[in-house]
Amino acid sequence: MIEEITSTQNAKVKKWQHLTTKKGHQKFHQYLVEGWHIVGDAITAEQPVVQIIATAEQLNLHEHQLPSNVETFEITDEIAKKLSDTVTPQGIFAVLDILATEQVDPETATGAWLLLDRIQDPGNIGTMVRTADAAGFRGVVFGSGTSSRFTPKVVRAMQGSQFHIQLVEANLEDWVKALKERNIPVYGSALDENAEDYNTVTPQSEFGLILGNEGQGMSEKLMGQTTTNLYIPIKGQAESLNVAVAAGILMFKLNQKLA
């Protein structure tokens, strides 16, 4: 049975709007995703989808792809505009539970991990998560000061890769300490006189890689705690690389996936 909602003042609509905010995430332990690409990926990856919200057009279009055991709502185009973070809403949304079990212990974590230090731009975060997925990384750690992985712009920018690898929010210093105690190297990225050319590093299957804030780079404290800080030689006249571009170069260079 599909419930039809036509008023933008409906209590459910107001709650769904709240799920696009940090306060809403904390209160309800849920978040909203938009667009069939991400909704479909969430369903395929067996993520905790608890509600499907869509216009009549989208419900008809994806009728045979939607799970029958998930609460489903038909909404108007006007409501879709209220819920959307885009100029042109796609007309289909899903509510997902935020699971309390999404933490990973750095003392037992395996594989390659990308650590984000105060990264703010949703587009950069999305590109880095997608690239980590493509480069065979085990997961991405969102450090303090990094934009939340549940905000609409970040969710949209990740384009479903968040369902393929592990994403956690944690203290980066704890991760650096735990990895190094296990003799797993942690690389920083820095334009620093003591940094090493990234081409000199031998690819490995287990390591941490830290990328820092778009304008300020890595924090000085983290820079002093890494195993080695790396730089990418620039051959042209540009002063620096976009952080997501630098992350992509380093991730594909460093990761030697376990067979």
Tokens encoding 89: 């809403």
Q: What is the DSSP letter of 217?
A: B
pLDDT band at 259 (very low <50, low <70, confident <90, very high): very low
10 Å CB burial of residue 200 (0-12, 13-18, 19+) is exposed
The confidence score (pLDDT) of residue 102 equals: 61
> What global pTM score does this model have?
0.91
Look at residue 199 and give its three-state secondary structure: helix
Q: What is the pLDDT of residues 88-138, one digit of tens each?
A: 999 999 999 998 656 789 999 999 999 999 999 999 999 999 999 999 999
Residue 209 to residue 186: CA distance in whole angstroms: 6
Look at residue 114 and give its three-state secondary structure: strand
Which residues does residue 75 pair with via DSSP β-bridges, in sequence order?
Answer: 5, 55
The confidence score (pLDDT) of residue 47 equals: 94
Which domains, and CATH codes, for the chain? 3-97 (3.30.1330.30), 112-254 (3.40.1280.10)
Q: What is the pLDDT of residues 207-255, one digit of tens each?
A: 999 999 998 999 999 999 999 999 999 889 888 899 999 999 999 999 9
10 Å CB burial of residue 100 (0-12, 13-18, 19+) is exposed
